[in-house]
């Protein structure tokens, strides 16, 4: 490298350090309580750590995220209220539990909406996902990014579930969300809405027979210890959403908001990759832990879809026909 190039390289280097320091100067000392519901060893917990580390890195250590798992700060619904009231700064949780706050979130509960992760990423990270996320602001929440909870599958302690008729008689815990309640009552199960934080004990004591969650959660929450049967239904793709209290967000500088947004995007990329890698080998892991696995055939899956057709009409009415049609049109484009 000749002298001229060396001078240029040095001046660029000095500028970037100065830029960083300048950014740090607009950043105050902040401690952010970031709550989540799964345990620290889960995919949710691993991604929360990535987010916390990235915030510290980007802010030069001035902004510290305390990631607090296992619903220690409350259930998803309780944390949402704490953010709205300004008693807690951030959380990540299910979009399904936000339906009582922003009805448009129910679009993501539509059975069989997405056929694969590619479609989910394209819609959630595109203008439609942003539009639905922006609806939260009028209710005191700021959505930053979607993470992947994943495709949901059914476990129970009573019987193998391999066809539509097998749902009948199962007392099934579902998320506190009207679409999930309607979906499983339509399929013949006795749907019982319950917070995630109460679920393991309810399964262990047989207060409920079963539940439905992605493979990752079945593994990390050790549901295989209290559930013998796993039915691979992939009946809906569930997103998680990272939220900030709007009361807190509005007090941040532009640089502080950029730190949180950039760290959120990095955590999203990590979380999806990490979750998919874990899910890819989860079925073998769950079999190895003794679960009896049945996989729904395409024919049985189509029977479920047909049975649930009426649910789609209700969702379209609740979220608004325009949003419903926009999602369907975008999916049709992706499937061409």
Interface contacts to ligand KDG, rule CB under 6 A: 37-38, 71, 76, 93-94, 149, 175, 196, 213, 217, 238, 240
Q: How far is the CB of 213 from ligand KDG (least distance, A)?
A: 5
Nearer to ligand KDG, 182 or 256 (CB): 182
For tokens 């694969």, name the residue: 116
Residues 188 and 206: their CA atoms lie apart, in Å, by: 19
**Least CB distance from residue 243 to ligand KDG, whole Å?**
11
Nearest residue to the partner ligand KDG, using Cβ: 37
Closer residue to ligand KDG, CB minimum distance, 153 or 217: 217
Which is closer to ligand KDG, CB of 63 or CB of 175? 175
Nearest to ligand KDG of 244, 259 (CB atom): 244
**Residue 62 or 69: which CB sits closer to ligand KDG?**
69
SS3 state at 335: coil
User: What is the smallest separation between the CB atom of 24 and ligand KDG, expressed in angstroms?
Assistant: 33
- Smallest gap from Cβ 146 to ligand KDG, in A, equals 12
Helical ranges in the chain per DSSP H: 3-25, 43-58, 76-85, 117-124, 127-134, 178-186, 199-204, 215-220, 246-249, 254-280, 282-288, 298-307, 309-319, 321-334
Rounded to whole angstroms, how far apart are CA atoms 133 and 168? 36
CA distances from 149 to 34, 137, 217, 223, 274 (A): 17, 23, 8, 16, 11
CB of 194 to ligand KDG, least distance (A): 8
């Amino acid at each position: 490298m000749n002298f001229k190039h060396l001078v240029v390289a040095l001046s660029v280097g000095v500028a970037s350090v100065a830029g960083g320091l300048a950014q740090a100067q607009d950043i105050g000392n902040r401690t952010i309580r970031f709550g989540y519901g799964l345990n620290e060893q889960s995919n949710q917990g691993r991604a929360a750590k990535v987010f916390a580390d990235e915030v510290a890195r980007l802010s030069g250590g001035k902004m510290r995220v305390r990631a607090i798992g296992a619903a220690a700060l409350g259930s998803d619904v309780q944390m949402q209220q704490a953010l709205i009231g300004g008693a807690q700064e951030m959380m990540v949780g299910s979009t399904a539990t936000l339906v009582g706050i922003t009805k448009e979130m129910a679009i993501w509960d539509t059975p069989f909406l997405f056929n694969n992760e590619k479609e989910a990423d394209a819609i959630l990270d595109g203008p439609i996902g942003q539009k639905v996320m922006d609806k939260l602001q009028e209710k005191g929440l700021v959505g930053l990014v979607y993470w992947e909870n994943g495709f949901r599958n059914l476990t129970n302690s009573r019987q193998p579930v391999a066809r539509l008729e097998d749902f009948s008689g199962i007392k099934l815990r579902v998320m506190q969300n009207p679409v999930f309640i309607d979906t499983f009552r339509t399929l013949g199960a006795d749907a019982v809405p319950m917070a995630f934080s109460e679920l393991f004990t309810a399964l262990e004591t047989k207060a409920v027979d079963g539940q439905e969650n992605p493979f990752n959660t079945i593994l990390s929450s050790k549901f295989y210890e209290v559930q013998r049967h796993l039915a691979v239904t992939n009946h809906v793709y569930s997103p998680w959403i990272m939220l900030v209290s709007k009361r807190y967000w509005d007090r941040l500088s532009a640089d502080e908001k950029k730190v949180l947004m950039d760290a959120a995007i990095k955590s999203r990329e990590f979380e999806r990759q990490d979750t998919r890698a874990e899910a890819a080998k989860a079925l073998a892991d769950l079999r190895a832990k003794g679960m009896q696995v049945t996989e729904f055939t395409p024919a049985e899956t189509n029977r479920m879809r047909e049975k649930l057709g009426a649910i789609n009409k209700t969702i379209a009415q609740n979220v608004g026909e325009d949003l419903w049609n926009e999602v369907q049109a975008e999916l049709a484009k992706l499937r061409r």
